Structure 1
Amino acid sequence: MNKYQKLLHETYVLSGEGKLEEFKTYLSDNVSWTEAAGFPYAGIYIGPDEVVKNVHERLGTEWEGYAAKDNIYTFNKNIVIVYGNYSGTYRLTGKSFIADFCHLYEFDENDKVKKFIQIVDSATVNKALISN
């Protein structure tokens, strides 16, 4: 297993378990985290605290059983692309979804995530947000 794959897999596990303080230790102090346009948490967040506050805390409180399953990794030096699937049930509507994603990560010289870009089927996610 590539060192970056090991590190990233640990971040998926930690965020899935709600261990957000531990998750933050994998991010550089000035990480740039981009959630895709059209995604419920769209935006660019700078720094671990902003990432957790605007993305991961919301995932943990607004969704039941939210998960990001990392399935396939591809590597180019310190850049990693992960293909996987999101799933969960939106608490306010009770609707579930499964959506494909690609995550692009760039690591700094200390093996911390310095850049994240999300690509996702946001239409599938957004359908879960709408009440009938």
Structure 2
Amino acid sequence: MTNKNIALVERMYQLFHEKNDVLIRELFLENVQWNQMEGFPGGGKYRGIDEVLEFIFSGFRNDWTDWHAQTERFIDGGSSVFAIGHYSGTYRSTNRPVRAAFIGEYVIEGGKIAAFHQYTDTYLIARAMAAV
């Protein structure tokens, strides 16, 4: 079991919650590949920790009230860690709340996060963001 890999991903979620981008940066490879589902806020493919921090992490902080990615368990996949949990928050411009289950795959290389692949129900997120 790769407990170090699980601890790395757990630490990333903790630092995200604390909004500590300085320490988050240390957990990722500089050229990390980030794959956010289309239809999800910031959906698309990003390369590099600067893009992840600017277009993904700051977007949640700016556009959502109390955005949380609450993990419930982690699965050791050898060179990957799967985080299972749910997203929750309220979209600022509509004041609509959301709660949606997710699975995130984190690919680990050399003790750092090299890639992320997201799987979630984008309909629930889009519904919270809809003005109607």
* TM-score for the superposition, normalised by structure 2: 0.94
Q: Which position in structure 2 is the counterpart of 1:43?
A: 44
Name the stretch that deviates more: 87-96 or 2-11.
2-11
Gaps of 5+ in 1: none
Q: Which position in structure 1 is the counterpart of 2:17?
A: 16
For residues 82 and 27 of structure 2, the distance between their equivalents in structure 1, rounded to whole angstroms, comes to 16
Q: Which position in structure 2 is the counterpart of 1:72?
A: 73
Identity, in percent, stands at: 28
Displacement, 1:76? 2.1
Q: Which position in structure 1 is the counterpart of 2:62?
A: 61
For residues 12 and 36 of structure 1, the distance between their equivalents in structure 2, rounded to whole angstroms, comes to 18
For residues 21 and 119 of structure 1, the distance between their equivalents in structure 2, rounded to whole angstroms, comes to 26
Aligned-residue Cα RMSD (Å) equals: 1.2
Displacement, 1:75? 1.2
Displacement, 1:9? 1.0
Q: What is the count of residue pairs matched by the alignment?
A: 131
For residues 46 and 62 of structure 1, the distance between their equivalents in structure 2, rounded to whole angstroms, comes to 22
Name the stretch that deviates more: 73-82 or 56-65.
73-82
For residues 17 and 36 of structure 2, the distance between their equivalents in structure 1, rounded to whole angstroms, comes to 17
Q: CA deviation digits over 1:70-123, x for unaligned, max 9?
A: 1121112111111110000011110000000000111112x1000100011111
Q: Which position in structure 2 is the counterpart of 1:130?
A: 130
Q: Which position in structure 2 is the counterpart of 1:3?
A: 4
